[in-house]
Structure 1
Amino acid sequence: MSPRTRAVLAAAAALFVERGYAATSMRDIGERVGLLGGSLYHHVRSKEALFLRIHDTAIRAAEARIRAAVAAHTDPWDRLEAAAVTMLDIQLDPQSITLPLMNDLRAVPPALAERLIATRDGFERLFKDLVAALPLRDDLNPALYRLLLLTLLNHVGDWYRQGKSTPAEIGAEILRLFRHEAE
C-alpha cells in the first residue's frame, strides 16, 4: 500500500469518526489529504468501499486483540472476562475508531450494511464460542446471555468517564454480575 493510500485511509477513518458516514463526503476526504476527486479515486473506488475497508480492518484488529487476551487463560469465566476487558479497552480508548464505526450502521446504504453485518457476525462468533464454554444454568438461554453481555459492553461508552474506574475494573465487575446470575 502506498503512503498516499495510507493517508487516504487515515483521513477517511478520522472523518468517519468525527462526522459519521452520512456527513462525510469523498470531497472532504480528498481535501483532508490534498487530493482532487479524480486523484482520490485512483486510491479508492468509492466511499462505501472505503468505509467497508476501514470498518473491517478495525473489527479484525479488535478480534485479534481479544483472541490474544483470551488465549492466556484456560478457565471459561477468565476467558470471557479477558474478552470483555479487552473489548472495553478498545472501545473506551479515545483514539479507537472501532465503536464509532460500529455505531454508524443505520447511516450506511442497505447493501453496505449487509456486508458490515457479515463482518460483525464473524466477530460475535468469538463471543458465542466463549459463552458456549461457560457452565451456565440450564434455564439460561446462551444466545440471549451473549446478546445482553455484548449490548452492555457496547454501551459502556455512553456513561463511562475516565478517572473513575478503569476498563479492567468495569469489565471485571460486569463479569462478576453476569457470573453471579449464571451459576
Structure 2
Amino acid sequence: MRQPAGRSARRSGGERKPREERWAELIEVATQVFYEKGYDGASLQDIADRLGMLKGSLYYYIQSKEDLLFDVISMVHKEGLEVVRSRASVESDPLQRLERVVAGHVEHTCRNLVAVAVFLHELSALPPERRQEVLGTEHAYQGVFRDLIEEAQREGLVRPDVEPRLAALSVLGSANWVYRWFRPGGAFTPEVIGAQLADMAVAGVATESALAARRAGIAALS
C-alpha cells in the first residue's frame, strides 16, 4: 500500500475495508470536505463523519489535519506532473510539445476541478518547508513549461525577447484559471478549451517564422 506522504508509519489496528481502499476513500472524502469548507473550516470530525468512522480511527492513517492536507495536495501535484511530463516527452519540436503540455494541463484541470481547487486554494495553508516538499526545490511543475520554452528559444522558435520563467508563469497561470469558470456539460469540452488555450499560449511566445510554419502545416492538412 502507498505510504502516506504526511507520516513515516501508521499505527496498527483493524479495518473492515482493505487498507488501500480505505486510504483512497479517506483522500477522496478529505479532498471534498476541504473543497466545501476550506482547510480552516474543515475538521477531522467532519471527515470522519463523512466516512462513517470514529475520529480516533483517522489517526491510524495520519497524525494531524495538516498531514492529511499535505497528502491531498501531494497527490494532486503528482498526478498533474505525470500528465505534463508525459506530454513533454513525446518526440516533436519543443513548440509542439509546449502546445501538448498546455492542452494536457488544461484538460486534466477540467476533469479534476475539486482536487485542483483544493491544491490552488489551500497550498498556502501548509508551512513553507512542506510547500517546498510538494513543489520541489526547482518547482518541477513550472519547470516543465519553462524548459520547453527555453529549448524552443534555443532553436529559434520562441522570440529572443521572451523571458522563459516569466512566460512559463504566465502560461501556467492563465491555464490554471480554467478551474474558476469551467463547468462540466457546458458549451466547451475540456479538449476544445485545452486546444484553444494551448494555441494562444504558443502564439504569445513564438517567432513569426515559427507561426508561419505552423499555419502552413495546418493549411496543408486541411
Range into which the TM-score falls when normalised by the shorter chain: 0.7 to 0.9
Matched position secondary structure for 2:41: coil
Deviation, 1:117, is 4.3
Bigger Rg, structure 1 or 2: 2
Poorly superposed stretches of 4+, deviation over 4 Å: none
1:48 and 1:164, CA in 2 relative to 1: closer, same or farther beyond 3 A? same
TM-align CA RMSD: 2.1
Confirm or deny that 1:176 pairs with 2:191.
no
Q: How many residue pairs were aligned?
A: 180
Residue 44 of structure 1 aligns to a residue whose secondary structure is coil
- What corresponds to 1:77 in structure 2? 95
1:159 correspondence with 2:185:
no
Scaled by the length of structure 2, the TM-score of the pair is: 0.72
Query: How far apart in 2 are the matches of 1:163 and 1:63?
Result: 26
Deviation at 1:30, TM superposition (A): 1.2
Distance 1:5 1:177, change over 3 A: closer
Report the equivalent of 1:116: 131
Shift of 1:114: 4.0
State the one-letter code of the partner of 1:119.
Answer: V
Instruction: Tell me how far apart the structure 2 counterparts of residues 171 and 146 of structure 1 sit (CA, whole Å).
Output: 16
AA paired with 2:188?
S
The reply on whether 1:18 has 2:36 as its aligned counterpart is yes
Unmatched segments (≥5 aa) in structure 2:
2-18, 208-222
TM-aligned CA deviation for residue 44 of structure 1? 1.1
Q: What's the TM-score, normalizing by structure 1? A: 0.85
Check conservation: 1:90, 1:98, Cα contact below 8 A. Answer: no
- Greater CA deviation, 119-128 or 84-93? 119-128
Identical aligned residues as a percent:
27
Cα 1:166/1:75, change in 2 over 3 Å: farther
